[in-house]
Structure formats: structure tokens, C-alpha cells
Structure 1
Amino acid sequence: MLTSISIGFLALIGAGATAGWFVIKAQDHAQWVEHTYEVERRVSQLRVLIERLEVSRRGYLLSHRPQTRQVFIETVRNEPVLIADLKRLTIDNPIQQRNLIIIETMAADQFRMLSTSMVTSDRDPQLATVIFAHDQSIGLTKRLREVTMDMLGEEGRLLQIRIAEQRAATRILFIVLGAAGVLAVLVAISSILVLRRYTGGLVESRAAVERLNAELEDRVEERTRDLSRANEEIQRFAYIVSHDLRSPLVNVMGFTGELEAATKPLLALIEKVEREAPDLLDNDAALAAREDLPEAIGFIRTSTQKMDRLINAILRLSREGKRVLAPQPIDLVELTESIVGALQHRLDELGATVIVERPMPVPTADRLAVEQILSNLIENAVKYLKPGRPGRVVVSARIDRGRIDIAVADNGRGIDPRDHDRIFDLFRRSGQQDQPGEGIGLAHVRALAYRLGGLVDCTSTLGEGATFTLSLPIQPVSPQG
């Protein structure tokens, strides 16, 4: 169906072009018909001038009136102009050009004869009458009439031909227009059928999409409820696990302290035995008391302290997930400068600078969450500067496609491209582990960004620096529990 409609449209365009061509041809034929009428008018005017010359000559010979002489002079003046116009109008017709040459020659002879009799009449009227009776002017005038009649006959012949051509072109034009009209009706009917079929399919598709959307909304709502419940369960589980882990951890830390305290009298006893009865002391026992036991206690204490920090971090994440967001307009310049001010002492020690670009857009979001995110990103940028290179951190923000992108860019160590996504996982770190941390910060940043309806990502080249971008909606998300 679409192929036939396309062919119909092409045929309709062809018919329109053909009709336009025939309209042009009809206009061309009409112009030639008008041209023929114009030539006939000029030939008729020439015949009038020829007759007027003879009449004015006779009238002057009879009356010698100056008005009659003036008519003769004006007619003589207009005749060459009219002949020249006819030559121009019939330049494409050799027959008419030959007739005009004959007329031009005879008109000159006529003028000479007529003017001779008129001049003679001024001196000798009787002689002028004799000249009038015997000259050839009457025969010449008659011949001029015949030639002009031949010209009118030629133009009549051309007129019949051109009118016939005009009628034929008009007839073909009407046929083409009729065919184009029929074709347009057929194309319109085909288009209506296609549109009805397409519209019907579109209505069915829209109804199907609406059904799918309704089902999808139900599924999304159900999945959201499931995720909310799962999130709450995870938060409760994290709280319970961290709380339950803390009890045995406290016991381990307490017993470690007791073991450490017990090593002191043990070492004193070993030293006493070494002084008083060295034969009773085993070297392995002395080595274990002096070195192995304190080293093991130190490992236990270090591990329990790390475990304690991890449990505290998990508790913080669990508590943050329960906090209700309070969206408000945030002055990013003021917020960033307050964070930089808190780090100024550390920046002075490292010889680093933090540049806050102005102006910055004003998002509407939870201020505490945004502050925690920016604090973590700026502190990480300062923490992981490249030794031997003056540290430089740039904080900027811009609006892009209805969102606010806040970028924290540094010239520090950079991050291996393989770790750009993994650094946001819990307890995952990248690069040399020479700085304190548990791998919690960026996971916390991503969780906060998600709660704000935003995203955070990293672009970096190892050894050249890193850029962390926080993308937030301009309008606040719905407060979450």
C-alpha cells in the first residue's frame, strides 16, 4: 500500500509538472495570437494612412485649405514609423518582410507623385489637374491596397494556425488536469486508508503501552516497596550485626588488656629465675615471654582497633540511611569555602591550594548530605596529592541539561582506570595504602548521592590527577526516611 501511494505521489508530481508545462505553452500560444492581432491592427492603420494620403491630396487640389495640407504632412510623417513597427513585429516572417519592402518602395513613389501634384497646384492649379489626371498614383494606391490585403491574409492564416495550436494545448491541459484530479483522488483515498490503518495500529499500540505502563508502575511500586523493606532490613541487620559484634570485640579487647597486664609479672618472674636459678629457665620460654607474647598481643590490639573502626563506620552508614532529608537552597560557594577553611591548616602544611570557582548555581538539596559529600571529596583530594608536586584542587559547578554538576579536580596521584568503579564499593581502596582510612568514605558518598537523586563518578589518569563529579537535580527529590 505504501509503495502504491509513493508511486501515486510521484505520478501526481509528474502530472503537475506536465500541467505546468502545458500552461506555459498555452501562455506562449496566447502571446502569439495577441501578436497576430497587433500586426493586423498595424496593417489596418497603414491602409488608413495610404487612403488618407490620396484623400488629403485630392482635397487640397480642390480646396487649397491649409488644414488639408497639414493632414497630408502628418500622414507622410507617420507612415515610415508605422512601416518600421511592422518590420519589427514581423521580423520572423519572411513573407511579410518582402511585402513591407514592396510597400516601402511604392509608398516612396506615391509620396513623390502626390507631393509633386500638390506643389504644382500652388503655382498652377490647371497644370496640377492635368498631372492628377495622368499620373499613376491611383494605380499605385490600388496596388498598395492589394499588398496590405495580402499581409492581412497572411496574418489571418497565421492566426488560424495559432488559435488551433492554442486550443489544442488548452485541450491537452484540461485532459492532464483531469487525469491529475483523478489521480489526486485515488492518492487521497489510498492515503486515508493507510492513515486509518496506521491510526488504528497507533491507537492499539498506545492502549497496549498504557496497559504496560500501568503494569510497570504497579511492578515498580511493588519493587520499590520490596527494596524499601530490603533496605530497612539491611540497615537493621547492619545495626544488629555491628552491635552484636561489638560485645565480643569488647571482650577480646578486655582480655587483651588483661593478657598485656599479665605479661609484666611474668617477665619479672623470668628475670628473677635468670638471676637466681638460670638452670631452671628454658630459652624458648624466655623468648616467648619477652618477644612472642607482646608481639601477638600487639597484633590482636591492632586488629581489634581496626575492627572497632569498621563497626563504627557501618553504624554511621546505618544511621545516615535513617535520617530524613531536608531540602533547602544551598550556597555552594559559602559551603565549599567553609570546608576549605576547616582544612586550611593541613593545606598550609602541604603547601597546597584549593580554588573555588565563581559563580556557582544554587541547588535545592539536603545541606548536611551535600556538605558530607564535598568534605569527603575535598579531603581525599588533599590526602592523595602527589609528592614533589605543588598540590592544586579546583572546585567548580555548572548547569548541564537540567542538572547541577559539581566537580572536584586535583593534580594528585590519580587512580588506575580499572579502579574507577571499585573505589565506590565498601571497604575498597586503590593505589598505595600509605594513608589512614577504612574504604568507607566513597561508599558513603555514593549512598548519599543516590538518596539525593544524584550520581557521582570519577575520571582520572594515573599520575596526573583525578576529577570527581557529583550530579544533582536542580529541584529536590522527595524526602526519604
Structure 2
Amino acid sequence: MNTAQRQFNRAIFAAIATGFFMLIIAAGAVVWAFQRTQDIGQRVTHSIEIEAAIANLNRLDERIEAARRGFLLEGDKRFLRTFEVTAAEIPHKINDMAKLTADNPDQIRRVEQYRKLAKNYLDLVEKSIANKRAGITTVPGSSLLDKADIAVSQQLRDLSDTMSSAERDLLEKRTTREHAGILLSTSIGIVAATILLLVSFGTIWVVRRTLAALSVAGEQLRLLNGDLESAVAERTAELQRANAEIQRFAYIVSHDLRSPLVNVMGFTSELAAAIEPLSELLEMAEERIPDSVTDEARYAVRENLPESVGFIRTSTEKMDRLINAILRLSREGRRMLAPEAVDMNALVTSIIDSLQHRVGELGVTMKAEPLPTVITDKLAIEQILSNLIENAIKYLKADRPGTIIIRGQKENSRVLIEVEDNGRGIDPKDHERIFDLFRRSGTQDQPGEGIGLAHVRALAHRLGGTISCTSALENGATFRLSLPKDLAPQQGSNT
């Protein structure tokens, strides 16, 4: 990709990112405007409720006055009952008014003033009713109200008008703000919709352009994959030929080494057989001619020669084991794998049973947890697990009871099998080294040539798997074998 293309892609990305960022801001603004409009609407409703409450109080005052006039003029007790019910309702309505105006200090003050005037007015009304019942008339002429009644009534009406006027002013302001909020919300919504359309069109254009580029790239990739598959097939064939050549070379070398080794072993046996007559001859010479036998001759026949023969024999035996191991690896590499459904639980049980005599002698606790069935080469997997379990037994610590756990589980299309022990452990720096041929770790107090784990890794690779180790010195080791659940059948031979 050239510099101009990269800059263009960055510009497109920046434009889309900016558009979405502005869209987020617009969405937030819409939410804010909606909440603000909703709040203003609630305040408008609140003002209307207060005005309705004031009108309701005025209505109750008028009902009180009408009931009093009716009773004073006609003496009908129905007017008295209307007065009593209405007079009992007025304090509750005033309390409701106080709750509604709790957010307005001026209205709170007016409500308290109204409460006092209403109580004074009710006291005057009750007094006039009581005078009527007692036959006392203090009102001059044909009027039913005295000066005190008229003054209190006027004060109540003036106070109601003041409260209503204040709420109407608030209502007008809040209505104006509500209209402004609606206009702002509408404007923000239009801006947000415009931004959304621009971002949508821009995104569609970029997506179509990207799809076209992907189509071209896909075609190029298809052509490259065709070439790559051919290259991989060719490379795989080369690797198979090289692997087969290495295996044949190992086989030939091991056979060529076997011939001189057999000669060395034969001559060693002849030297070992010659030691006995030489020792007898030396003894006869010491008996008959003591002075003719030197110390060097005695040392050579009785110590140096047997020791040298022993060293040669030990070395040839080790060489013989190494050659046999190389031959075994070579044969295993050339063997055709035969995938089959392997009952891993039965396989592990069989391996543990074959080692039961050693397990019993050492007091080792073997735990085999349920294992999944695997379609793989039975002989190869058996060799892998046998080697791992035998190593676990071999390298346990003598100062604590040995415990070995074999467990397994499915992980998507693969199976993970673990062999865990509480033995002497492996230095972390040797976790990879131990899988190399002829390499070992730690104190070499157990027999072996360093071939087992190399053989395990080679078998694991042939089965399409991997083998790894996690361990710390003195804290045991865990070997993890990862295999495909289903090993594909092999086509042809490796040779």
C-alpha cells in the first residue's frame, strides 16, 4: 500500500470517526433537550396545579359565605351543615397548597398568611352563626356583614389574587421556556438526523469502496493461495524426501556402526578371556621365579587390564544401546500410522497394570482420571504415555510418597492429556532441552541415554500433536500432550 492510499484511508477513517463522534454529541444534546423540555413541562403543570388549588380555595370561601348568608337569612340547618363540611375541608386544602408551593419562598409566606386570615374569617363566621342561634343581631340594617367580616373577606380575596397573579407570571415564563425548549429539541433533532444521514451515506460509500477493494484483494489472494499451495506441496514433498533420506542415513549409519562395534565387542571378549590364563601364568611365575615378576606386570595383569576391559565393555554396551535406539527411531519414523478409536481409559489402565510391580515396591499412588476417546495410532500413543509414566516413576523423590496423576480433557478439536507427578522436578532452563536427543537434566543417577523424551516428541509430532513440560525443582513435573481428536489417515509411506 502506497503513502497516498494510506493517507486517504486515514482521512476516511477520521471523517467517519468524526461523524460518529458528532452523532454521539447530537444524541446527548437531544437527550438533554428532551429532559429540559420535560422538566419545564412539569413546572408548567405544577403552576397550573397551584392555580387550580387557589381557585378551589376561593370556591370554598364563597361556599362558606353562601352557607352563612343562607343560615342567617332563613335559619335552615342545611346551610349550617354545608358550612361545617366546608369549614372542615379548608385547612386540608391549605395544607395541600403549602405542599405545592414548598419550592417558592414567596408563596410559602403568602400561604401562611392565608392560613391565618382563613382561621380568623372562620372564627368570625362561627361567631355570627352563634349570634343567630342566640337571637343576637349585631349587623346594622339589612346587611349581613360587619366591618370585620368585610375586611377579612377582602384580605382573603386580595391575597388569593396576589398568589394567582404570581403563579400566572411563573406560568407565562415557564410556558415561554417550554416553547423555547421544544424549538431547541426540534433543531437538535434535525441536526442529529442530518449528521446521521451524512454518516450513513459516508459509511455506505466507504463500505462499498472497501468491498470492491476486498474483492480485488480476494482475487489476488486466491491466485497467491494457488501458488502457495503448489509451493507448500512441493516443499512438503521435499521435506518428506529429506526426512526419508535422513531415516535411511540413520539406518545405514547405525548398521555401519554395528559392524565395527561387534568386532570391538568380540575382541573385548577375547581380551577378557585372555586375562584368566595370563593371571594363572603370572601366579606360576611368582611361585617358581619370584624375582622375575615385576610390580608393573602384576598391576597390568591383575588391575589395569581387567579395568580397561571393563571400561571397553561398558562403552560398547552403551554404544550398542544408542545404536538400537537410533534404529528404533528410524523404524518408528518409517512405520505407517494406523488411526483407530483408542479407549484411553483402558490404555492407561493397561500401562499402570504392567508397571504394578514397581509401583508396589516404591509405594507410589497412581490416579487415572477419566480420559476422552481419541482417534489416533494406538501403538504410538501407548509408547508416549508409557514413556511419560515410566519417567514419572523413575524420578520420584525418595523422601516423600510418590503420587502420579493422569488426566485428560477435550479442548475444541483437540485433546489435552497430562501426566503429573510430585517428584524431583526439572529445572525451568531444561524444559525444552530434555526433548533433545541424548540430552538429560539433573543428577544422572538413573539409567538412560536421553532418548526417551526425544522419541516422545517425535511420536507426538507424527500424531499432529505437541508435548510440553511445566516444572520447578523439588516440586514435581507436569507433561502436557496435545493431540487432534481425529488423526487423518496417512496417504502412502514415508519411505
TM-score of Structure 1 vs Structure 2, range by shorter chain: 0.7 to 0.9
Q: 1:165 aligns with which of 141, 165, 173?
A: 173
Q: 2:343 aligns with which of 291, 306, 330?
A: 330
Mapping of residues 132-151 of structure 1, within 5 Å: 134=141, 136-137=143-144, 150=158
1:190 is displaced (CA, Å) by: 5.3
2:364 alignment partner, SS class: strand
2:196 alignment partner, SS class: helix
1:427 is displaced (CA, Å) by: 1.7
Q: 2:390 aligns with which of 379, 400, 425?
A: 379
1:36 is displaced (CA, Å) by: 0.6
Cross-structure match for 2:433: 422
Alpha carbons 2:426, 2:477 under 8 Å: kept = no
Q: Please tell me the residue identity of whatever aligns with 2:343.
A: I
Alpha-carbon distance in 1 for matches of 2:282, 2:91: 149
1:473 partnered with 2:483: yes
1:237 partnered with 2:244: no
Cross-structure match for 2:327: 315
Alpha carbons 1:256, 1:301 under 8 Å: kept = yes
Alpha-carbon distance in 2 for matches of 1:84, 1:265: 140
- CA distance 1:345–1:34, change in 2 (3 Å): closer
1:328 is displaced (CA, Å) by: 2.0
Cross-structure match for 1:65: none
Mapping of residues 52-63 of structure 1, within 5 Å: 52-58=67-73, 60=74
- CA distance 1:74–1:218, change in 2 (3 Å): farther
2:76 alignment partner, SS class: helix
Alpha carbons 1:415, 1:461 under 8 Å: kept = yes
1:27 is displaced (CA, Å) by: 0.8
Summarize deviations over 1:244-272 as a string: whole Å, max 9, x none: 43344445555666777889999999999
Alpha carbons 2:469, 2:480 under 8 Å: kept = no
Asked which structure has the greater CA Rg, the reply is: 1
Cross-structure match for 1:125: none
1:354 partnered with 2:361: no
Alpha-carbon distance in 2 for matches of 1:46, 1:472: 93
Cross-structure match for 1:457: 468
Mapping of residues 263-302 of structure 1, within 5 Å: 302=314
Alpha carbons 1:377, 1:408 under 8 Å: kept = no
1:137 alignment partner, SS class: coil
1:6 alignment partner, SS class: helix
1:80 partnered with 2:87: yes
1:399 alignment partner, SS class: strand
Comparing 388-397 with 168-177, greater Cα deviation is found at 388-397
Alpha carbons 2:384, 2:456 under 8 Å: kept = yes
How many residue pairs match? The answer is 459
Alpha-carbon distance in 2 for matches of 1:107, 1:429: 110
1:174 is displaced (CA, Å) by: 0.7
Q: 1:185 aligns with which of 184, 188, 193?
A: 193
Alpha-carbon distance in 2 for matches of 1:433, 1:93: 97
Alpha-carbon distance in 1 for matches of 2:309, 2:411: 58
Q: Please tell me the residue identity of whatever aligns with 1:369.
A: A
- CA distance 1:143–1:273, change in 2 (3 Å): closer
1:218 is displaced (CA, Å) by: 6.0
Alpha-carbon distance in 1 for matches of 2:111, 2:357: 112
1:160 is displaced (CA, Å) by: 3.2
Alpha carbons 2:465, 2:481 under 8 Å: kept = yes
Q: 1:246 aligns with which of 215, 239, 258?
A: 258
Cross-structure match for 1:442: 453
Alpha-carbon distance in 2 for matches of 1:436, 1:154: 111
Q: Please tell me the residue identity of whatever aligns with 1:437.
A: G
1:318 is displaced (CA, Å) by: 1.4
- Tell me the TM-score normalized by structure 2: 0.73
Alpha-carbon distance in 2 for matches of 1:176, 1:277: 133
Alpha carbons 2:33, 2:184 under 8 Å: kept = yes
Alpha-carbon distance in 2 for matches of 1:405, 1:424: 17
Alpha carbons 1:397, 1:405 under 8 Å: kept = yes
1:478 alignment partner, SS class: coil
Q: Please tell me the residue identity of whatever aligns with 2:84.
A: R
Alpha-carbon distance in 2 for matches of 1:307, 1:389: 34
Mapping of residues 393-404 of structure 1, within 5 Å: 393-399=403-409, 401-402=411-412, 403-404=415-416
Summarize deviations over 1:341-394 as a string: whole Å, max 9, x none: 43344455xx402322143223314332232223223333344455x6366241
Summarize deviations over 1:187-242 as a string: whole Å, max 9, x none: 42454366447746875579758938947666655544443333223222222332
1:274 is displaced (CA, Å) by: 11
Alpha carbons 1:407, 1:470 under 8 Å: kept = yes
Alpha carbons 2:117, 2:156 under 8 Å: kept = no
Alpha-carbon distance in 2 for matches of 1:472, 1:309: 30
- CA distance 1:188–1:80, change in 2 (3 Å): same
Comparing 304-313 with 221-230, greater Cα deviation is found at 221-230
1:23 is displaced (CA, Å) by: 1.6
1:228 partnered with 2:236: no
Alpha-carbon distance in 2 for matches of 1:209, 1:78: 89
Alpha carbons 2:438, 2:450 under 8 Å: kept = yes
Alpha carbons 2:388, 2:419 under 8 Å: kept = no
- Tell me the TM-score normalized by structure 1: 0.75
Alpha-carbon distance in 2 for matches of 1:281, 1:96: 142
Superposed CA RMSD: 4.7
Q: Please tell me the residue identity of whatever aligns with 2:162.
A: E
1:444 is displaced (CA, Å) by: 0.9
1:8 is displaced (CA, Å) by: 4.9
Alpha carbons 2:388, 2:479 under 8 Å: kept = no
Cross-structure match for 1:42: 57
- CA distance 1:111–1:376, change in 2 (3 Å): closer
